[in-house]
Chains A and B, each alone.
Chain A
């Protein structure tokens, strides 16, 4: 099984500043198709997760351009620019290359 490891597990960010979350997979996420199936989700308290980014760097419908994804192979990053109050919650990375597994989550709080 592919294990996904996120760092940090928690982060306190000042409003208007940037935040970055790292995600590392235990093996390459490059699929036989040549695509890399790494996604990011955001879960607010009491809400279901919401898809933000798919295939490393593609923003899902309606996701603000403050959110960006990057990376390749086994190392990936989610960057949140100009953090807003609504960005609080837990962020998860997920691989879809070999079945589906999630990272442990990164809790983001606003200062």
Chain B
């Protein structure tokens, strides 16, 4: 069974930094792209970032470029999101998601429960 478990969320002041982690299990982590998708409280879903299997390619939504960095450690089956210069509008539940980037799907086929990040003074 695919399991994605996020951690690292919390309350941070505007301008601050936070590092999110996602522990993956139940599948061959090294064969999948991985992603972060966020959901502001009571709002819809927003794709944040993707990372290729070997970490070589990374893509970001425009609103986080230059502030967030996605990374992975394939020896630990772990995905990370380093967030800096945080703004109030970054407040959201951050979901780790597995991305099937194959020619047939290009969708997020497994999701974690998420970790809440609150940016407030």
Contact = CB atoms under 8 A, between A and B. Distances in A.
Interface residues of B, number: 20
Contacts, number: 63
A interface, by DSSP: helix, strand, loop or mixed? loop
A22 B89 CA distance: 28
Given A102-B45, A103-B44, A104-B44, A48 B104 contact: no
Contacts of B112: 48
Given A48-B114, A49-B45, A92-B44, A99 B107 contact: no
Contacts of A58: 104
Interface in A77-104: 92, 94, 96-97, 99-104
B32 interface: no
A65 to B, nearest CB: 18
B88 interface: no
Interface string A34-74: 01010101000001111100110010100000000000000
Nearest to A102: B45
Nearest to B108: A51
Given A48-B114, A99-B61, A60 B45 contact: no
Contacts of A39: 105-107
A99 B59 CA distance: 9
A100 B97 CA distance: 13
Given A35-B106, A100-B106, 9 more contacts: A37-B107, A39-B105, A39-B107, A48-B113, A54-B100, A92-B45, A96-B106, A99-B61, A105-B45
Interface of A: 31, 33, 35, 37, 39, 41, 47-51, 54-55, 58, 60, 92, 94, 96-97, 99-105
28 contacts: A31-B106, A35-B103, A37-B105, A37-B106, A37-B107, A39-B105, A39-B106, A41-B45, A47-B113, A48-B111, A48-B114, A49-B45, A49-B111, A51-B107, A51-B109, A54-B105, A55-B106, A60-B109, A94-B107, A94-B108, A96-B105, A96-B106, A96-B107, A99-B47, A100-B47, A100-B106, A102-B45, A105-B45
